[in-house]
Each structure stands twice: as structure tokens, then as C-alpha cells.
Amino acid sequence: MISEKMKPLVNNNSAIRAMFEEGKRLAAKYGAENVYDFSLGNPNVPAPAEVNQAIIDLVKEEDPVFLHGYMSNAGYEDVRRTVAESLNKRFGTHFHENNILMTVGAASGLNVILKTLLNPGDEVLTFAPYFVEYGNYVRNYDGILEVVSPNTATFQPNLAEFEKKITSRTKAVIINTPNNPTGVVYSAETLTAMADILRRKQEELGTDIAIISDEPYRELAYDGVEVPYVTKFYDNTVICYSYSKSLSLPGERIGYLVIPDEFKDSEEVFNAAVIANRVNGCVNAPSLMQRVIMRCIDCKVNLEAYDRNRNLLYNGLMECGYSCIKPQGAFYMFVKSPEPDEKAFCARCKEENILVVPGSSFACPGYVRISYCVSYDQIARSLPGFKRVAESYGLCGK
Amino acid sequence: MISEKMKPLVNNNSAIRAMFEEGKRLAAKYGAENVYDFSLGNPNVPAPAEVNQAIIDLVKEEDPVFLHGYMSNAGYEDVRRTVAESLNKRFGTHFHENNILMTVGAASGLNVILKTLLNPGDEVLTFAPYFVEYGNYVRNYDGILEVVSPNTATFQPNLAEFEKKITSRTKAVIINTPNNPTGVVYSAETLTAMADILRRKQEELGTDIAIISDEPYRELAYDGVEVPYVTKFYDNTVICYSYSKSLSLPGERIGYLVIPDEFKDSEEVFNAAVIANRVNGCVNAPSLMQRVIMRCIDCKVNLEAYDRNRNLLYNGLMECGYSCIKPQGAFYMFVKSPEPDEKAFCARCKEENILVVPGSSFACPGYVRISYCVSYDQIARSLPGFKRVAESYGLCGK
């Protein structure tokens, strides 16, 4: 009964489902507290208290017909203006409300902009390791995702290969910084070099190529590292933002697109994106949450909690002799597998009731992703298990 | 820069935008209280008080990591079970949580099921007059919307033409009852006859044909009329439900799909629909609103307010000599234009600062849609204008 396009998705999904079921099986067998599930990117730090207060205040103060009602498909104008002004203040940009489109999270934002831009057969580039859903999003609009192989020395993008892969069919490149799964932040040098290549290629090929910057982890950066604002490097940039991690609201589905004036045909692209947001069935971003964002525009989650987790896990793994670039952002560590087949390493971890995701799920075999958006305690309790696994591989701790 | 598929949508959108701008222009010129805008389907009856109370209680009682967090892409299991049990109690069905998929409103639900079922070139039937977005939703998945011409005597579907239009490519039929724009409720006789035709055609053609029942207006029925539950008439039925009108939460984007066990390949279709909900970028229906639905499962908006509006407008228009089937549901009246070109009639109404939507926007020229989800007062104040228009056409009041 289901469509041909859905069939591979359903078949592929059973692997993820199997992992989920395995976690439940282990928890039932050994007790949930003895299973160390590092497989999910579900924030465990609560939303700031201001968010819940804003919800209560809004419900008490606002007319329900307004608060829960339809607005422009782009979102409330005052909310969009508040977002624009906040970005301008933080990044020295000059956005206005008609650069901001409120979306049902960044995942929906990515779909909206891809629907707006892609013709069938258009190519979209991205850099391994990458969030596997990008392929599904691009295929939704009959585009082709082309993957640039990873630069495992730094996990900054492999720009030499990137340049070679740009063709006359290249319509966009999706970047993700701070990065899932590596935690790497793309440097200003990286973005400058990437923008130079794209401008050169646009001129050479006579085409327009968009950067689509997926930024759910923008606010999760450590050690004072700066996450450069991509629109300042390259005109044809769209930002896909989400409050899922920055305010710990992943279930609420609230985020926005930034389509700057400098983007080619900006006004037409913005209008088309608003229509895409409507006809894909979202209609608008959830209304109450839009109003919450307006009141909580300067709120932040407790970043120290993630930072403590990061240091505990990183130091613990280093002591065992594992190899990993210390992440500067997000809440993931991308650890080198002690054996070439990282799925075997995952299986070895599972014997210690430790669940991690194989890098091949991010088009980067030989590594595993460990999500540290879990309790500090879970990390502490898991370290002896990580140590026994390391010992079984003869890794040398420091 | 925008895709070929988006271009006609952008061009077509300017007509709707022009109407919206015209409304704003009139309001600025004559004062908002002297402009009678009947063009929008935005509920003016507030959400029941229980909804706001549930929001406050949830925020105070629940762990924010749970309340605003990810859950299964299908929605919280207990919410889905509550919805299933409520339907079972009301309609004598036997649904369980794995028949219910929480969605970002019915518009998203329609997209999810169309993405799940349609191959390029598949035909989807619907009955004029119909909600114009159906065409966009079907084209999102490269399907073809085939429209059955209206039966203007009753605005029940034209089943003779329907049967003739079913081909081997027909994958689904979208129905909408209570209907936008006519307010007509499909009778049990209609649904029985439609199901008989579909079963006969399925056997004859060796295909499977789904009924997709778009039901945002299910709870808005007057005069004690029963809105039959479609799954009881035909196995291959999917229900697309929304709380936008039933709880006046249109901005919050909350609804659900029902995929019954009796649907062909039900389990596979449900699993595929959950994946479609994820990869289209919605990921899940907004989490707080899901929890609200669970607590407000038996709440209702103030239907009497709409009913009073309905009677005031209907009687007022009848007194002027207009012609209209008295709607049994939803909050629209579909009035016969006194001249064949209903756009000219709309223009004539606009001279009285009355804004109504031409029936050609619903593939049914010769009629106009009047939304009565406005204040009672607006209807009362508009009636003299409607009368003057009637007189200018020489209509005979009763």
C-alpha cells in the first residue's frame, strides 16, 4: 500500500528501531540504572525557568483567540522583529522581520528551504560525518545529496574535495556547526575559505549556490569559543535555527529560518518559503511557543551542566586511552574506534551495557558517537565499563 | 532562485495576498469596525477555559524535560491511547494507540498520509467545492488531483460522476465533512453509497483506494445532526483530525491521524506514516499541546456562539432573498451569487465593505463563501449592506 519512495525508509528504519528495542531489552534485564544509553540527542538539561513562567504569564495575560490563533504563515510579525533585533545585537547583522520565518523546528526549516530551492536532480553537498536525515530531506524534493568525505585530522570540512564536487547541478551545501556528531565548530578561516570557493564556482559556472546552515547547536559552545555567523561570510546563506537545544524545547518544534536581504532574489525566496511552510502542512510555527520565544529571547539553558559532562567524559575516555578531538560545541563526542570495524566496537560496548552509535550512521565509519546530554551520574558510572572495553583492546591509558 | 514547482504557487498566492491587502486598505480608510470581513476561517470563539488551565497545571506539575522533550515520532503513547479510547467510547470503534498518530494539525496529517501513499502520477479524487490546498498537498508528492463537479442541488457528493472518474491510477479520495465551504454534512446514505462504489471499483480494478477524511469541523454540527464516523463505512479509511476548530487552537498545530487495523497493510502504513511525519521535518506534534489534549479530551468550544451566528446570518440572508442551503456544520455559508459571475458579486459586496470569497477559489463558480466565525455584532451590522446589495440585484426578500 505504501509508496515506492517510503519503502527504503521503512526498511532502513528497522535498524534504528532494533537499537531502541535493544536498549529497552537491556534496561528490563539489568535495570535502567545499569544501562548507559549514549545513543540519543535528547537534552537532559531542563528549559530555563523563564520559559515556564512565560507560558503561565501568556496564558493569564493574553486573549486566547490571539494566543492560540492563526497568524501570518511566516509567524507573528513582532516575534520575527524581536528575533531579528536580537541577532543584530549579537552579531552586528541588519536583519528585519521579513528576513525571519518562524518554523516547526530546524528540521522543518530545512525542509521548507529545500522545497523552496530544489528542482529534481539538483545536487546538495554536505560534509561527512553528517546527520543522516539530510539525505531524506533532500530526497523529499528529488534532490541528490553528495557527500564530501571526512577530514578525520580535524573534522573541519575537506574543502579541496568540496571544490572538486561542485558541479553545474549544485544548488546548495548544508553545513552544521557546532557539528553533530563531532562537536567541532567551523572556524572563521574555514568559512572564509568555503565562501571563496563558492563565489569562485558561482562565477565560473554561472550558477547560484546556497549555504544552508543548520544551527540547532549554535548556543552550545564551550571554552569561550566563538561560533561565527555564516551570513557574514557569504551572501547566499540561509540559517536554520532551532530552540530544541538552546532552550531545551525539542518536543515543542520551534525554530526559524533567516533569509537575508543579500540572498539572491531574497524577497521572492522569502515569499516562496512562507508558502512552502504553508503547503507542506505546517501552516505556521506553534503560536504559544512563538510568543514564549519573544519573552525569552535572551534566555539560555544551563550550559555548565553540559560542560561538566563534557569534561568528565572526555577526561575519562582519555585516561582509558581512547582517541577523540575534544568537542568545542554541541553535546556529542566522536571517538575513534579501537578497531577498524566500529560496529564491532559498539557490540563490545554493549556487553558493558553501554550504547553508542556507529559512525557509519553518519557516513564516517571507524568512529562512534557518544551523546553526553545525559546525567553526570550516568557518565561517571559508565567509565569503568569504558575502561574494561579499552583494556580488552590493549589501549594505553595516560 | 526558486524551484519550478514553487513558481506557480508564488504567482497564484498574489491573488490571496491582494485580497488581504484590500481588507487592510478598507479598514484603514473606513475604520476596522466598518469593514465586514467574512473571508477567513479563523475561529473567534476562544478555547475552552480548561485548555488554559491544563497548560498552567502541566507547567507546574510536570518535569520540563518530559513536558517539552522528544517522544516517539508518533506522539506520546498515553496521549494516543486516550484519543483512541475517546473515539471508541463516542463511535463504538475499537482503536488502540497504534492506530493514532499525533500530527502538526490536519494539514500536516494530510501531507503525512499523502506522502505515505502516493507514487508520482497517482490520482486523488475530491468533490467540488473543495479546500484549494488539497491540490497543493497532492502535488507535493507528484500526484494528480481529479475534481468531481459539484451537485449544487444538495452539495452532497456527485457519486455518479465519482464512479466514472475512478481509474486504475486512483489511489485515494479526499472527503471533508462537515464541509468547507458548504457546511453540508455527508449523510450515512452518502457514505454507504460511496463505500459501495469504492469496494466495487477496488474489486473490478484490482487496486486499493483509500478514503482520506479531512475532519477539522467534526465537532461543529448543529440541530443535533449526527456526523457519521467514516471508518465504520469503509475499511481503507484514514481520518485526518484537527483541534484547530474543535478546541479553537488553530495556531498551535495539533491534530492526529487515525489509521485503523482494517486499513490495507495497516501496520506498515502506520509505520511509514510515522517516518513520513519525521522526515517531512515535523518530527512530532508539539509536546505540550499533546499533553493538553490528553487532559482536555472531553472539552468542547462554545458551539452555541457559532449556532447563533449561523441563524442570524442565514435568516438575514433569506430575508434579503439570497439563496443558500442552510449549513448543518462547520462555520461557513455557501451562498448562490445573484449573477453568474460571482466575482462581480464579490466586487459589489466590497462596495459595502463586505468581504466574501468567490466560489471559484473552491472550484465552484457561481457561489460565494461567507465565514461566520466572526462576532455576532459584525454579522448584525453587515446585514443592511447585504440587503442593499440584494436590492441592487432585484432579489425578493420574504
Regarding whether A134 and A73 lie in a shared domain, the answer is yes
* B154 lies in some domain: yes
Regarding whether A307 and A291 lie in a shared domain, the answer is no
Residues A374 and A34: their CA atoms lie apart, in Å, by: 14
Q: What does the pLDDT average to over B50-72?
A: 96
Residues B276 and B296: their CA atoms lie apart, in Å, by: 27
Q: What does the pLDDT average to over B195-204?
A: 98
B236, B268, B295: which is the final residue of a domain?
B295
- Of chain A, the end-to-end C-alpha distance in Å amounts to 57
Chain B residue closest in CA terms to A135: B279
Phi/psi at A233 (5° precision): -100, -25
Regarding whether A210 and A140 lie in a shared domain, the answer is yes
Regarding whether A210 and A318 lie in a shared domain, the answer is no
Residue B373's closest CA among B156, B239, B151, B216?
B216
- Residue among B104, B119, B250 whose CB faces A282 most closely: B104
Contact A56 B56 (CB under 8 A): yes
Residue B181's closest CA among B325, B291, B322, B323?
B325
Question: Complex ipTM above 0.90?
Answer: yes
Q: Does B117 touch chain A (CB under 8 A)?
A: yes
A256, A277, A295: which is the final residue of a domain?
A295
pLDDT at B389 (0 to 100): 97
* A142 lies in some domain: yes
* A1 lies in some domain: no
pLDDT digits (tens, 9 = 90+) for B177-189: 999 999 999 999 9
Regarding whether A358 and A248 lie in a shared domain, the answer is no
- Residue among A1, A118, A271 whose CB faces B3 most closely: A118
Which sign does the torsion angle of CA B124, B15, A275, B250 carry?
A: negative
pLDDT at A9 (0 to 100): 92
Regarding whether A206 and A95 lie in a shared domain, the answer is yes
Contact A117 B51 (CB under 8 A): no
* B1 lies in some domain: no
pLDDT digits (tens, 9 = 90+) for B229-257: 999 999 999 999 999 999 999 999 999 99
Q: What is the mean pLDDT of chain A?
A: 96
Residue A360 belongs to what domain range? 6-47+302-392
Regarding whether B305 and B253 lie in a shared domain, the answer is no
* A95 lies in some domain: yes
Model confidence at B358: pLDDT above 90: yes
**Percent of chain B with pLDDT strictly greater than 90:** 93
Q: Does A275 touch chain B (CB under 8 A)?
A: yes
Segment 284-343 of chain B within 8 Å of chain A by CB: 284-289
Distance set, CA B345 to CA A304, B29, B316 (Å): 65, 22, 18
Regarding whether B170 and B22 lie in a shared domain, the answer is no
* B340 lies in some domain: yes
CATH code at A193?
Answer: 3.40.640.10
Model confidence at A281: pLDDT above 80: yes
Regarding whether A346 and A309 lie in a shared domain, the answer is yes
Contact A286 B119 (CB under 8 A): no
Residue A214's closest CA among A158, A131, A145?
A131
Q: Does A73 touch chain B (CB under 8 A)?
A: no
pLDDT digits (tens, 9 = 90+) for B268-323: 999 999 999 999 999 999 999 999 999 999 999 999 999 999 999 999 999 999 99
Regarding whether B193 and B330 lie in a shared domain, the answer is no
Q: Three-state SS string across A20-62, please?
A: HHHHHHHHHHHCHHHCEECCCCCCCCCCCHHHHHHHHHHHHHC
Residue B51's closest CA among B304, B220, B248?
B248
Q: What is the mean pLDDT of chain B?
A: 96
* A398 lies in some domain: no
Model confidence at B3: pLDDT above 70: yes
Regarding whether A249 and A326 lie in a shared domain, the answer is no
Task: Calculate the CA dihedral of residues B151, B171, B242, B336 and round it to 10 degrees.
Answer: -20
A268, A295, A322: which is the final residue of a domain?
A295
Provide DSSP, A271-306. Answer: HHHHHHHHHTT--SS-HHHHHHHHHTTT----HHHH
Best mutation target among A1, A70, A237, A374 (most B Cβ atoms within 10 Å) is: A1
Residue B179's closest CA among B332, B58, B27?
B332
CATH code at B336?
Answer: 3.90.1150.10
Contact A251 B69 (CB under 8 A): yes
- Residue among B64, B271, B275 whose CB faces A47 most closely: B64
- Cβ count near A224 (within 10 Å): 6
Contact B2 A116 (CB under 8 A): yes
Best mutation target among B9, B104, B108, B287 (most A Cβ atoms within 10 Å) is: B104
Kindly report the pTM of this predicted structure. 0.97
* B398 lies in some domain: no
Chain Cα centroid distance, residue A160: 24
Q: How many domains is chain A built from?
A: 2
Q: Does B9 touch chain A (CB under 8 A)?
A: yes
Regarding whether A320 and A278 lie in a shared domain, the answer is no
